[in-house]
Amino acid sequence: MKMSALEYTVSLLEKIPEENLKEVQNFIQYIIFRDAGNRSMDLLSEDELVSQLTQSMERSDAGATTPAKVVSQQMREKYAV
């Protein structure tokens, strides 16, 4: 009996040690979200990008920042990295 692509993929996943499954999940997420059609945000024009970066630098200069450790923790939680 020939397996479907889904059945074959599941059979492979069942053989992966538990400690390696997070790597597989991260790679699958990368594949899904790398395509332009799956972007959750619009691309900015050069003027829009410069404007947003300028505003960001102004906020940073004013002290409205988040510590890197907090940002890293939030990214790990949000993206399972």
Model confidence, pTM: 0.37
Residue 65 makes CB contacts below 8 A (sequence gap 6+) with 59
Residue 22 makes CB contacts below 8 A (sequence gap 6+) with 80
Concatenate the DSSP letters of all residues of 41-58 into one string: SPPPPHHHHHHHHHHHHH
pLDDT in tens, 27-74: 888 887 777 565 666 777 888 889 999 998 898 889 888 888 988 888
Distance CA 37, CA 57 (A): 30
Q: What percentage of the chain exceeds 90 in pLDDT?
A: 7
pLDDT in tens, 4-34: 998 998 898 899 988 888 888 888 888 877 7
